[in-house]
Structure 1
Amino acid sequence: MFLEIIQNVETKSPLINVITNFVTVNDCANILLAAGASPCMAYDIREVEDIVSICQGLVLNLGSIEDDRAMLLSTKRANELNIPVVFDPVAAGASKLRNELCSEFLQKVKFSVIRGNISEIKSIALGSATTKGVDANDIDMITEENIMEAIKLAKELSQKTGAVIAISGKIDIVADSQKAFVIRNGHPMMAKITGSGCMLTALIGAYCAANPDMILEATAAAVGVMGVCGEYAYQKTIDTDTGTSSFRNYLIDYIGKLSAEMIEEGMKVEIY
């Protein structure tokens, strides 16, 4: 199943418009290219509706808030055309502005996927504010002891929003209201580079755009692929005695070098 989802991205090469923050826009574009998709980074209010009309997927990232009008216009057009919309509520819970925007988006937009760390997801679901800026708070971390609570939270939020919920962390959870994938891939070094979460959100956008009838499975595939490639990138970093900057490049490299063997042997997935 996952191999077919991945291959669909390569064969269909979906055009994805990504409204992301200025810190990670280049990495998001490069990881889409590495996966076989085609990136577009249009965010001007005068053109976003036209651009979205020719795209197969839309990604919104709340990292650097520049013009929420462009986000709302683009999502409205995407919803009209039944184009998958992926939302990354970066630092939800960190400020009144972000909380208000998240609330407005959830009221006005039909999201296909909402992806965030556990603190961001809890902020949206429960109104809690334990985030450490763009990072998850240590007290929220998903562990073996609380994993069933996190799965329940994700399923309930999916039921409420109609979106697939993807929670990134040491243990990843991807769930709709009925089914959850628990993914145990990745490496802590992924948290040491700027943009790993943003890149993952962009990758989810590409996978969903190429597999619009399998949003849950496509999201799980993207999360698993990112984790597997993170593991390969870490090993390459060790082998070459390099550091975080090289790790980022290796991560993108392995997305482009992805093989069936890497997925079949490396992806660790459980279903609940």
Structure 2
Amino acid sequence: MTESLKQILLHTQAVRPMVHSITNNVTINDCANIILAAGGTAIMAQDEREVEEITSHADALALNMGALRAQEAMLLAARTAKRLCHPVVLDPVAAGASRLRSEMCGRLLAERLVSVIRGNASEIRALAAGQENAAGVEVDALDRVTEQNLAESAAWLGQFSRQTGAVVMLTGVIDLITDGQRTAVLRGGSELMGRITGAGCMLTSLTALYCGANPNKLFEAAVAAAEVMNRCGEQAQVRVRKEMEGTASFRTRLIDAVSLLTADDLANAHQIQLI
């Protein structure tokens, strides 16, 4: 898969796609910056009076359930993106923690508006099972993907992908990405990602960027995004440890690493297993 990932990055950097993100206020700046760092352009419109027009100009749409007040805007934007055959990436933040979030995710999936779903294990399980989960944005210990339950996790994730017609990215200590036929297992990354806000949101934005540039290769684009985040997280951690810095510096170093990463760097460092 090495050559495929390399081509995803090269094409993204060549075409400089625009990503329209409807995301939460906590991480909106980080999401915009990581899109720019990876070679794209970002716009973060949320007013329902303009989102259809804005979405029509963009190459991809990222929807983050942290932006609960923008639900009508999300639906309008997603319908526009689907009509134009532009990828829509859904981040079901805290899906299952409230009925409002669950119902909104359900509407998007029921209308088949979503191209890629990116969430942690608890969020993806909540969507797949339709069950409430009081754990919120954190991963419940019972939902974690481990080496011991890897095959079982890949099986139900593949089934969920086939049901929704979307590529599904379950990210954590072990990442699983599937289009219902192929499943990639990614290992690595940095434990410091769990100690800053927005690591998942940034990954969702990165996924939308690569999907926008490569709309006919959504599975490969999703794998590339997760691998970029893992490798850049590792590089950022090495840097902050060396400089005796903390988590605030880690966020900056992470975005720095994304901005400096080349396609050859990724091809030489990948740790991907296809099952």
Q: TM-score range by the shorter chain?
A: over 0.9
2:151 is matched with: 148
How far, CA to CA, are the matches of 1:203 and 1:161 in structure 2?
21
Q: Tell me which amino acid in the other structure corresponds to 1:267.
A: H
Letter in 2 for 1:197: G
Indicate the residue corresponding to 1:41 in structure 2.
44
State the match for 1:247 in structure 2: 250
TM superposition shift of 1:131: 5.2
Identity %: 43
1:210 and 1:197, CA in 2 relative to 1: closer, same or farther beyond 3 A?
Answer: same
The residue number in structure 1 matching 2:73 is 70
Aligned length: 272
* Amino acid aligned to 1:117: N
Q: Contact (CA 8 Å) 1:228, 1:262: kept in 2 or not? A: no
Question: Which residue does 1:90 correspond to in 2?
Answer: 93
CA spacing shift, 1:230–1:131, aligned 2, 3 Å: farther
Regions of 4+ moved over 6 Å? none
| Match status 1:204 vs 2:207 | yes
- Which residue, out of 106, 123, 126, partners 1:123? 126
Match of 1:169 among 163, 172, 179: 172
Partners in 2 of 1:116 and 1:172 — Cα distance? 10
Q: CA deviation at 1:261?
A: 4.4
1:193-248 CA-partner distances (Å, limit 9, x unpaired): 00000000000000001111100011001101100000000000101100000000
Q: Name the aligned partner's letter for residue 72 of structure 2.
A: R
CA RMSD of aligned residues (A): 1.0
SS of residue paired to 2:147: coil
Unaligned runs of 5+ in 1: none
Give the Cα–Cα distance (whole angstroms) in 2 for the partners of residues 132 and 233 of structure 1.
28
**TM-score under structure 2 length normalisation:** 0.97
Q: Which of 25, 30, 34 is the equivalent residue of 2:33?
A: 30
How far did 1:266 drift?
2.3
Instruction: Give the Cα–Cα distance (whole angstroms) in 2 for the partners of residues 190 and 144 of structure 1.
Output: 20
Question: Given that residues 92 and 131 in structure 1 are in contact (C-alpha distance below 8 angstroms), is that contact kept between their aligned partners in structure 2?
Answer: no
Using the alignment, how far apart are the partners of 2:28 and 2:137 within structure 1?
16
User: Is residue 2:83 matched to residue 1:80?
Assistant: yes
Query: Contact (CA 8 Å) 1:86, 1:113: kept in 2 or not?
Result: yes
Counterpart secondary structure, 1:144: coil
- Conservation of the 8 A alpha-carbon contact between 2:6 and 2:264: no
Work out the CA distance in 1 between the residues paired with 2:268 and 2:13. Answer: 21
Q: Conserved in 1, the CA contact under 8 Å of 2:22 and 2:70?
A: no
